[in-house]
Amino acid sequence: MKQYVEQDANGASNSWKKIVIFSVLIALIAGTIYLFPDYRKVFNYTYEVGKPWTYSTVVAQEDFPIYKTDAQLAKERTEVMHSYTPYYTIQTDISQDILVMSSEEKDKWKKQGVEEIAILHNRKASLYNIDSLYSPKTAYLAFGKEYLVNLQYDSITSQTVLKSVLSRITPTQGVVQKGEKIIDNGDIVTEETARILKTLEINSSEKTVGYHERLFANIAVGLLITLFFGCFMLYVFVFRPEYLTQINTMLFFYLISGIIIAAMLCLVRYTNWSVYFVPVLWIPVMVRVFYDSRTALFLYLTNLLILALAVPDSFVYLLIQITVGMVVVSNIKIMTQRSQLARISIYAFLSYSILYAAIVVATTGDWHKIDWVQFIAFAANAFALLGAYGLIIVFEKMFGLTSSITLIELANISSDLMLRFAEQCEGSFQHSLQVSALATEAAKRINANVLLVRAGALYHDIGKMAHPSNFIENQSHGRNPLLDLSPIDAAQAVISHVTDGVNIARKNGIPQVIINFITTHHGDSLVKFFYTNYANAHPNEKVDESLFRYHGPRPMDKECAIVMMADGVEARSRTLSVYTEETISEMVDDMIDMQMKDHQLNNTPLSFKDVTIVRAVFKEKLIAAHHKRIKYPTLNQP
């Protein structure tokens, strides 16, 4: 009954986790659709005058006028200002026989190219050259006495005239006919072409999109994005089903995807920067550091397909990014040193540069048409990979993940915790070293995570630090204190080393992925020694096995299963009185068969072939460890 309750609880827990995972996925899809550039309002091209056009041929989809450049409009305004005449009135309350304007206003009009002003008097306007007017200073120098400013600017009349003059300047010049070719791939962007392209950009941004057009476009984009993410979820369901119950894992995938997608969509919507500035290579690098190459590439391709819907020249973008991603992932087998990121950055930059240059030359036949500015984006993207190391540390803490670098640090037997373990539990420490050696070799042979197995094996028995003398390998002399306890109490004392190990590990900041080895290395197996003693002493009593069973859980992955088998085999090997190939082989088979009959390996993805290989590795290593040596003869004394 208890087993069914546990299964129901686990089923309910997994269902809840899947609901959370799919809810966050829906939120990610909705956010992507919201940020997605409108299909009619985005000018997806970046270009420079004098540089080759690197995109496909652009043809006018409808008639549109050509807008003048800002420089042209500024020039025309300057020319108009030369013919513009500001209006002034004479202040009648100042009685003097000359016209005087303030020095500041005279300088202002001269700087603007205005040569004449109109003076209104009795509803008539008379033109005066500005140079013929006096300022207070020039009037004093000419006549030897002070004069007041008697010309007052008529802002109402002047602005009316100015608006009339400026209205003659039109913002457009010429028309592009529907179907007319604007520019072809490889053509040099001229001033005239740039003016037309700028007009096309303005028209695209100002075009009114109907409600139904926008709705259908958003639905189509949403379907495509959902399809692409759906392909990734299908991959997870088929090849990595365990991820569907690991909320942290899926949230990590969603977060790194969301960061890159948001960065790219904002860049496309609000800037004219090169799309290669966005460090999309963060996705395969960071996923590969924590998981496997297949998952890294699949998530990377999913994101590239989504980004290709928004970026200009999507075919070239996909071609370059997919190739560079393959180069990067193939060079991250195991991330063990920070210097590896530097090497990967160099590979990425070289791959970007060679691919881009080759594509331009292949499509245009002219290497002069290479846009060297793109190499700045490639360099920035490659440099961003160096910053991935900091993100790896952040994601480790945020999602409880464990990188290869952290596993190497954990496997250092000179760490403070390992040194205390060796000092307090010398026998258990030596046992852990032997288990680690056995398990590591087995992991290599069946393509399991070697670094994880090595570290997990070293920590699986650290709970024995709480009561070292309760375990025979740490008893150098004297009586076993457990023999003074009842079989039930003795069994519970042995079982407690698992919970003690979890407490010690958490106190020392050991990640959950290592704690899993502590909790699963005995699964929910029996403490057979004390169970048998109790059963023999109470032949007519139905023994409650739960009093003699570890609390589990059973191993869920290859790595924990390997350590469980190695732990049992190594401990059992110390009970052999004779070490031969036959006795070792029989012992290994018997121990693993017993674990399999007890269903301890049922929840793992191990195949029969994997178990067969593991058996062979254990036999090979133990036989080598207990091989016979030549007995050296003694020297006869004369």
Amino acid at 15: S
- pLDDT-wise least confident of 16-25, 329-338, 616-625: 329-338
Q: How many CA atoms lie within 13 A of 185 on its CB side?
A: 14
Angle at alpha carbon of residue 18, lines to 16 and 21, rounded to 5°: 115
Nearest-angstrom CA–CA distance, 469 and 467: 6
Amino acid letter at 313? D
Q: Which helix (H) or strand (E) holds 552?
A: none
pLDDT band at 17 (very low <50, low <70, confident <90, very high): confident
| pLDDT, position 335 | 63
DSSP annotation string for 119-178 = EEETTEEEEEEGGGSB-HHHHHHHHSS-----EEE-HHHHHHHHHHHHTT--SEEEEEPT
363 and 442 inside one domain = no
Domain check: are 552 and 424 in the same one? yes
Give the pLDDT confidence score for residue 632 in this predicted structure: 62
User: Does residue 230 fall inside a structural domain?
Assistant: yes
Bridging pattern class, strands 116-121 and 87-90: parallel
Q: At which of 354, 369, 399 does a domain end? A: 399
Minimum mean pLDDT range among 249-253, 258-262, 333-337, 398-402:
333-337
- Over residues 28-72, the pLDDT tens digits come to 999 998 888 765 455 667 677 777 777 778 887 777 777 777 777
pLDDT on residue 9: 41
CA distance 282 to 390: 12
N residues, the chain: 638
Measured over the CA atoms of residue 544, residue 545, residue 549 and residue 551, the dihedral's sign is negative
- How far, in Å, CA of 60 to CA of 88, rounded? 50
Q: Calculate ∠ Cα 301-453-290, nearest 5°.
A: 25
Choice between 6 and 103, residue whose per-residue pLDDT is larger? 103
Residue 445 placed within a domain: yes
Q: pLDDT of 546-574, one tens digit each?
A: 899 999 899 999 999 999 999 999 999 98
Q: Does 468 fall in a domain? A: yes
pLDDT confidence tier of residue 600, bands split at 50, 70 and 90: very high
Q: Which range in 18-22, 399-403, 415-419 is most confidently predicted, on average pLDDT?
A: 415-419
Least confident of 184-188, 208-212, 410-414, 576-580: 208-212
- Cβ atoms of 113 and 78 within 8 Å: the answer is yes
Q: What are the percentages of helix, strand and coil residues in the chain, rounded to 5?
A: 65, 5, 30
Q: How confident is the model at residue 157 (pLDDT cuts 50, 70, 90)?
A: confident
Sheet bearing 124-129, strands edge to edge = 124-129, 116-121, 87-90, 151-153
The per-residue pLDDT for range 252-284, each reduced to its tens digit, is 999 999 999 999 999 988 888 889 999 999 999
Q: What is the pLDDT of residue 374?
A: 87
The residue to which tokens 């009685």 are assigned: 95
Nearest to 54 by CA among 351, 362, 310, 280: 362
Q: For tokens 């480790």, what's the residue?
A: 396
Q: Are residues 226 and 285 in the same domain?
A: yes
For β-strands 64-67 and 116-121, DSSP reports them as unpaired
Q: Looking at residue 4, what is its pLDDT?
A: 34
- 359 and 382 in a single domain? The answer is yes
**Is residue 395 domain-shared with residue 410, that is, in the same domain?**
no
- Do the domain assignments include residue 619? yes
CATH number for the domain including 502?
1.10.3210
pLDDT at position 2: 36
Q: Is the pLDDT of residue 99 over 80?
A: yes
Average pLDDT for 317-324: 94
Whether residue 590 is found in the same domain as residue 442: yes
506 inside domain: yes
Contact yes or no for 281/377 (Cβ under 8 A): no
**Angle of helix 426-445 versus helix 450-459 axis, rounded to 10:** 160
* Residues 334 and 394 reside in one and the same domain: yes
Instruction: Please give the span between the terminal C-alpha atoms of the chain, in angstroms, as a whole number.
Output: 80
503 vs 433, 474, 506, 561, CA distance in Å? 21, 21, 5, 22
Residue 225 has pLDDT above 90, yes or no: yes
441 occurs within a structural domain: yes
The whole domain housing 124 covers 70-166
Q: How far apart are CA 391 and CA 255, in angstroms?
A: 12
Assess if residue 156 is contained within a domain: yes
Residues 474 and 604 in one domain: yes
DSSP-derived 3-state class of residue 188: strand
Looking at the predicted structure, is the pLDDT value of residue 209 above 90?
Answer: no
CA 52-53-55 angle, 5° bins: 145
What's the pLDDT at 334?
65
496 shares a domain with 419: yes
Handedness of CA 31, 36, 38, 41 (dihedral sign): positive
Q: How far is CA 462 from CA 245, 419, 573, in A?
A: 28, 11, 20
Last residue of a domain, one of 399, 426, 442: 399
Answer yes or no: do 618 and 570 share one domain.
yes
Output the DSSP codes for 306-356.
HHHTTSSSHHHHHHHHHHHHHHHHHT-SS---THHHHHHHHHHHHHHHHHH
* Contacts for 573-580: CB closer than 8 Å, 24+ residues apart: 573/622, 573/626, 574/473, 579/626
Q: What distance in Å separates the CA atoms of residue 487 and residue 504, rounded to the nearest whole number?
A: 26
Among 32, 44, 41, residue whose Cα is nearest residue 222: 32
Q: With contact defined as beta carbons under 8 Å apart, do 242 and 557 qualify?
A: yes
Q: Which of 142, 166, 190 is the last residue of a domain?
A: 166
Q: How many CB atoms lie within 10 A of CB 238?
A: 8
d(CA 438, CA 442): 6
pLDDT value of position 206: 56
pTM over 0.75, yes/no: no
The pLDDT-based confidence of 8 (bands split at 50, 70, 90) is very low
- Given this model, what pLDDT does residue 10 score? 47
Based on the fold, state whether residues 6 and 102 are members of the same structural domain.
no
- Region 283-292: mean pLDDT is 89
The reported pLDDT for the residue numbered 585 is: 94
Look at residue 70 in the predicted model and tell me its pLDDT. 74
Residue with the bigger pLDDT between 440 and 17: it is 440
Question: Are residues 292 and 222 part of one domain?
Answer: yes
597/256 Cα distance (integer angstroms): 43
637: in domain: no
Q: What percent of the chain has pLDDT over 90?
A: 40
C-alpha to C-alpha distance for 290 and 250, rounded to whole angstroms: 12
CA 161 to the chain's CA centroid: 60
Contacts 24+ apart (CB under 8 A), 293-298: 293/329, 293/330, 293/332, 294/239, 295/235, 295/236, 295/240, 296/329, 297/325, 297/326, 297/329, 298/232, 298/235
* Statement: residue 11 has pLDDT above 60: no
Strand (E) or helix (H) holding 243:
none
Which range has the top average pLDDT, 46-50, 287-291, 428-432, 531-535?
428-432
| 343 pLDDT above the threshold of 80 | yes
Over residues 398-402, mean pLDDT = 83
Residue 334's φ and ψ, nearest 5 degrees, are: -140, 125
Number of domains within the chain: 3
Q: Kindly state the average pLDDT of the residues 394-418.
A: 87
CA–CA–CA angle 322, 327, 330 (5° rounding)? 120
Is residue 596 classed exposed, middle or buried when 0-12, 13-18 and 19+ CB atoms within 10 A define those classes?
middle
**Would you say 47 and 53 are in contact if contact means Cβ atoms under 8 Å apart?**
yes
**Number of neighbours of residue 285 by Cβ within 10 angstroms:** 28
